Chains A and B, each alone.
Chain A
């Protein structure tokens, strides 16, 4: 398969390290001057930018966290004035407040370039017709894949997510050769296509899927259902969006574009850097980002890295699919959900009364996540008439939708019916494992 930028993508590792060192030193100096949160953290550790000489000193730099984005909401971590920020994206924070990131024109170029490397590496080119069925909007999925597709000169169909019948009709009529969406939606499309008996009318060859966890087993099922090769792409808006890393044709881990991002694996409890190959929390430093640069960002994703040479010839380090999280974040229908967000809604609804006990139950039916929230009834909530209880149920449902952007089914249940272990209610029951 072709390599878009062999000089960079196949750069000897020693040279990658030199490039990273140079860029890291410049980024530290720039951020120290421009980003208050970073400067305070460096000062607190008694560090000056001059103490950072290269990647060998990376471990000295303080970590940054998702909560920083909330604390400095909305623009407090930007390193460029808004006049240089050409776009913002946002995603859910751990509570009601969203987190916001900004991009300069140059950041968008780099983003598109990162996605383009992945796309070209999978054999896509200007003859490709790319159906982007990720959501467009504040979510980085849609516009991220879109930018990469345009960068390689492909024909992009910006259909966004949803409306399955229209998706399939478009795929057929427009002759889409590539599908970009979440793996669960790809699976769902595959089943619908089978049901409609239109698989032979498809021209699909490649699928690029991300934004939620999926297994090898699911990959095989999707490949079979859609008659394609399915590839994994990884990203998060705090670092870039989709395209921080992606698989090559060998499907053996996702190459992290190390000329822009430095990955580390750390022990989530001690913060100690672990040797390559070890499993721990993934941490990223952005060394070329201008608008929203961040160093040693704790992704909370658990995974491992390998620097073994890949059969494709690329030298950039590969990361395995994240196997879990160090926090309690859930990914439901591609959307990040924190149990604390549900708690916040219940707190608001209950007013002065005690916040009710709740439980999130997740499952996967017909390859779509089901999302149920059981809320224990209490005397302060209960009134004698059905209308007001139904109204309560509706209020919780609506507020959850507006907070999370996805719908949950709310059930009012008997008090103390949610199983507690050692006095603590189990907040999440995830029955999706083994069904992905």
Chain B
């Protein structure tokens, strides 16, 4: 399995909501390895990969933030033109739909890490394995 645990945070569209969340986890010494923000006119969802997801979720809950821990795919891709496209083709070829994706701030063994959310994580993991992509140890990502 290529899965890694991600925090999804509900944010009202109001000034200060986002930094309240990032401040709280920074204060506890938790580092953010990847981050993306999806927004609508009314609200946003902040998605985070951090080195201590359960602790971070607890901290966020304590400051009154709605948070959910979800599983996503973490894939080490080739750092070359077409590296992302290769992965997308494999997933598309298997009829898998991508809900969202983003990239981690660093790399593991020289390979950038792409975070992908698909409708069926297990099948996605299988097809990627068959195509020669190797599992990423979540611990490596948290060390980024």
- Interface residues, chain A, CB within 8 Å of chain B? 377-379, 381-386, 389-390, 393, 411-417
Report the Cα distance A411→B14, complex, angstroms.
12
Are A382 and B42 in contact, CB atoms less than 8 angstroms apart? Answer: no
Closest A residue, CB atoms, query B71: A384
Option from A381, A383, A411, A414 in Cβ contact (under 8 Å) with B11: A414
* Smallest beta-carbon distance A349→chain B, Å: 16
Question: For residue A383, which residues in chain B have a CB less than 8 angstroms away from its CB?
Answer: 68
In the A-B complex, the 4 residue pairs with the closest CB atoms: A384-B8, A416-B64, A384-B70, A377-B66
Report the Cα distance A413→B8, complex, angstroms.
15
B83-100 contacts to A, CB under 8 A, are 99-100
Are B67 and A417 in contact, CB atoms less than 8 angstroms apart? Answer: no
Question: For residue A386, which residues in chain B have a CB less than 8 angstroms away from its CB?
Answer: 38, 40, 45
Option from A379, A384, A393, A417 in Cβ contact (under 8 Å) with B12: A417
A-B CB contact pairs (8 Å), 24 listed: A377-B43, A378-B66, A379-B66, A379-B68, A382-B67, A383-B68, A384-B6, A384-B45, A384-B70, A384-B117, A385-B99, A385-B117, A386-B45, A393-B42, A411-B42, A412-B12, A412-B42, A412-B43, A414-B17, A414-B64, A414-B66, A415-B65, A417-B12, A417-B64
* B10 contacts chain A at the CB level, 8 A cutoff: yes
Are B45 and A415 in contact, CB atoms less than 8 angstroms apart? Answer: no
B1-58 contacts to A, CB under 8 A, are 6, 8, 10-12, 17, 38, 40, 42-43, 45, 47
Contact flag A379-B38 (CB < 8 Å), given A384-B8, A389-B43? no
Question: For residue A414, which residues in chain B have a CB less than 8 angstroms away from its CB?
Answer: 10-12, 17, 64-66
Residue from A382, A385, A414, A417 having most chain B Cβ neighbours under 10 A: A414
* Smallest beta-carbon distance B56→chain A, Å: 15
Question: For residue B47, which residues in chain A have a CB less than 8 angstroms away from its CB?
Answer: 384
Closest A residue, CB atoms, query B99: A385
Are A413 and B64 in contact, CB atoms less than 8 angstroms apart? Answer: no
* Smallest beta-carbon distance A382→chain B, Å: 5
Closest A residue, CB atoms, query B100: A385
Option from B10, B12, B38, B64 in Cβ contact (under 8 Å) with A382: B10
Are A390 and B40 in contact, CB atoms less than 8 angstroms apart? Answer: yes
Question: For residue B45, which residues in chain A have a CB less than 8 angstroms away from its CB?
Answer: 384-386, 389
Report the Cα distance A285→B72, complex, angstroms.
67
* Smallest beta-carbon distance B74→chain A, Å: 15
Question: For residue A385, which residues in chain B have a CB less than 8 angstroms away from its CB?
Answer: 45, 99-100, 117
* Smallest beta-carbon distance A98→chain B, Å: 31
Question: For residue B38, which residues in chain A have a CB less than 8 angstroms away from its CB?
Answer: 386
Question: For residue B11, which residues in chain A have a CB less than 8 angstroms away from its CB?
Answer: 414
Closest A residue, CB atoms, query B70: A384
Closest B residue, CB atoms, query A381: B66
Closest B residue, CB atoms, query A379: B66
Report the Cα distance A321→B23, complex, angstroms.
53
Report the Cα distance A412→B10, complex, angstroms.
9
Question: For residue B12, which residues in chain A have a CB less than 8 angstroms away from its CB?
Answer: 411-414, 417
Residue from A386, A393, A417 having most chain B Cβ neighbours under 10 A: A386
